[in-house]
A = this chain, B = another copy of it.
Amino acid sequence: MSTIADVARHAGVSVSTVSYALSGSRPISAGTRTRVEASMKELGYQPNAMARSLAARRTQVIALLYPEVERGLGGTGGEFVRAAAERCREQGYQLVLWPFRSDEADQALTLARQGMADGVLVMEVVTDDQRVAKLEAARVPYAMIGRTTDAGTRPSVDVDFDTTVEQAVAHLVGLGHRHIGFVNHSQAMLDAGYGPTVRAAAAFDKAMTDRGLVPVSRTCEDSPVVGRAVTADLLDADPDLTAIVTMNELATFGVYAELHSRGLSIPGDVSVLGIVSSPGVGTLSYPPLTTMHSPGAALGRLAVDCLLGQLDPARAAVPNQLIPCVLEPGMSLGPARTRRGA
């Protein structure tokens, strides 16, 4: 592997000239630049990233703390990562994923303090996230996807749960539904202060009561089996129920199963709307589920900008933003029809 000194020798210029030709941080004459570039190409030169980072005191790497290792990465996560990586490259950075479980966050912090990355993107933030507190204490630049309790004061981007839930309810009410059930994530996540769970629950209550309707919501493990049981419970609790909003993809399979087994047609008897879902999951069910899917790509780009805004004082700071989900039509929504009589 050739070094910058080899290139300099080959081109008959000094090392610093090669460096400036490479970075463009000082003017270089066209002739020199041409010669230097020719030499680089001929020698197959690639600058050494470690040496560069050491000298420049910046790695040009940003790390994505990636806690869902064992669960894998869903479609939304994939979109997010893809968009974030792309945005990073546009801005001259590399995105790398650090696969640590949430309880291994200290190790990630250590890596950051060792200068393995210039900043960190934190996914799956919980309301009282220790990782964020530690990053802050160690003065590691970061941006969150999700929010802690002190909404808005820390650098973050997030799904706009309030708007999403509000739109979901509005949509269903527009179809004539008055009795709408909500299937959330698990009670454990609610108790742990997992942001989406907490905020969506509150938003649903608000959206319903604002319209003078009675919110019927349930927490539910992320599994089809429990989803089915919870659906049974919902249907029994409110015999007039004509629509179910789910924010739990696995449970949604159970919702379908229970409705089918009771001979209730979708959307004839009951409409189902999956919110904050991955793109494409709607097609896994029959009839295809209508969803409002997470704006993963938009969040990815935004999160990167939010972080880079802190790394480089020259960049404009990016304000914290909330982005609602996008409706993706399926076949699971229809006008309300009285069920009790049937």
Which residues of A (69-104) have their CB < 8 Å from a CB of B?
69-79, 81-82, 85, 89, 94-100
Q: Using an 8 Å CB-CB cutoff, how does the interface string of A94-126 with B read, 1 for contact, 0 for none?
A: 111111100000010011011110000000000
Known: A69-B85, A72-B278, A99-B85. A114 touches B224 (CB 8 A): no
Is there an interface contact between A59 and B69, defined as CB atoms closer than 8 Å?
no
Q: Which residue of B lies closest to A71 (CB)?
A: B78
A113–B61 alpha-carbon span in the complex (Å): 16
Contacts of A113 in B (CB 8 A): 1, 46
Checking B48, B77, B97, B114 against A96 with a beta-carbon cut-off of 8 angstroms, the contacting residue is B97
Residue among A63, A73, A79, A94 having the largest count of chain B Cβ atoms under 10 Å: A73
Is there an interface contact between A69 and B82, defined as CB atoms closer than 8 Å?
yes
In the complex, the count of this chain's copies comes to 2
Q: How many residues of A contact B (CB 8 A)?
A: 53
A9–B110 alpha-carbon span in the complex (Å): 23
Which residues of A (32-85) have their CB < 8 Å from a CB of B?
46-51, 53-54, 59, 61, 63, 66, 68-79, 81-82, 85
Residue among A59, A97, A110 having the largest count of chain B Cβ atoms under 10 Å: A97
Q: Does chain B have a CB within 8 A of A204?
A: no
Known: A54-B51, A283-B223. A97 touches B94 (CB 8 A): no
Q: Does chain B have a CB within 8 A of A20?
A: no
Which residues of A (252-305) have their CB < 8 Å from a CB of B?
253, 257, 278, 283-284, 286
Q: Which residue of B lies closest to A97 (CB)?
A: B97
Residue among A72, A77, A278 having the largest count of chain B Cβ atoms under 10 Å: A72
Q: Which residue of B lies closest to A278 (CB)?
A: B72
Top 6 nearest A-B pairs by Cβ distance? A72-B78, A97-B97, A73-B73, A49-B114, A96-B96, A50-B53
Residues of A within 8 A of B (CB): 1, 46-51, 53-54, 59, 61, 63, 66, 68-79, 81-82, 85, 89, 94-100, 107, 110-111, 113-116, 223-225, 250, 253, 257, 278, 283-284, 286
